[in-house]
Amino acid sequence: MASVIGTCKLNGINPQAHLEHVLEKILNGHMQEDIQTLLPWNFKLERARHS
């Protein structure tokens, strides 16, 4: 957890928002082969596209 939170902070991402996003995706059946999309820097890109 500390590593994920640290990575989020280094990438200017709210750690709580990222973890909520990841857990929501997993609960909604996110495919394991798409695990790369859940990484913090990809979360930042996804949020930028939706803003």
Q: Which residues contact 40 (CB under 8 A, 6 or more apart)?
A: 4, 7, 8, 11, 13, 18
pLDDT value for 48: 63
33 — pLDDT class (breaks 50, 70, 90): confident
Q: What is the pLDDT of residue 15?
A: 93
Confidence at residue 50, expressed as pLDDT on a 0 to 100 scale: 65
Q: What is the pLDDT of residue 51?
A: 61
